[in-house]
């Protein structure tokens, strides 16, 4: 390894690095737990944002006219989450619940989540809007 070259540019390794080809399309298995962790990232991104800012972010995503980096990251998560939901439904992993059943399920789920930091309604609102298009 050329230490002189590495010292000049520590970001680019002196040895070969694996890269994913630009035209790659891959399938991965994702658990509901990981899906929920991604929902938690959405919650983190909107933390401290006003209702107006959140509504504006949804409008920017819908109009495909994103003005802020955090909104672009939310859109990326929304796309992934929507695909997960679509595949879960196709595989028979989605169940329709009454309001009461939903409250009970959420209570059980929140009790199992660290700090009750789950707000999937933020994701659901945008996904419903995108499904209308």
pLDDT in tens, 87-125: 999 999 988 888 888 888 777 766 655 444 545 555 555
8 part of a folded domain:
no
Retrieve residue 117's tokens.
């930091």
118 part of a folded domain:
yes
Retrieve residue 64's tokens.
């495909």
Whether the CB-CB separation of 75 and 61 falls below 8 Å is answered with yes
15 part of a folded domain:
no
Residue that has been written with the tokens 């909107």 in this structure: 46
110 part of a folded domain:
yes
Q: Number of folded domains in the chain?
A: 1
| Domain with 40 in it | 22-132
pLDDT in tens, 62-80: 999 999 999 999 999 999 9
7 part of a folded domain:
no
């Amino acid at each position: 390894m050329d230490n002189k070259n590495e010292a000049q540019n520590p970001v680019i390794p002196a040895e070969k690095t694996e890269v994913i080809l630009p035209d790659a399309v891959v399938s991965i298995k994702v658990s509901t737990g990981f899906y929920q962790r991604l929902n938690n990232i959405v919650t983190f991104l909107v933390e401290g944002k006003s209702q107006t800012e959140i509504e504006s972010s949804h409008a920017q995503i819908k109009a495909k006219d994103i003005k802020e980096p955090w909104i672009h990251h939310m859109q990326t998560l929304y796309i992934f989450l929507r695909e997960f939901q679509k595949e879960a439904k196709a595989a028979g992993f989605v169940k329709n619940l009454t309001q009461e059943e939903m409250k009970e399920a959420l209570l059980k789920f929140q009790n199992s989540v660290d700090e009750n930091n789950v707000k999937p309604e933020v994701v659901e609102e945008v996904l419903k809007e995108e499904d209308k298009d």
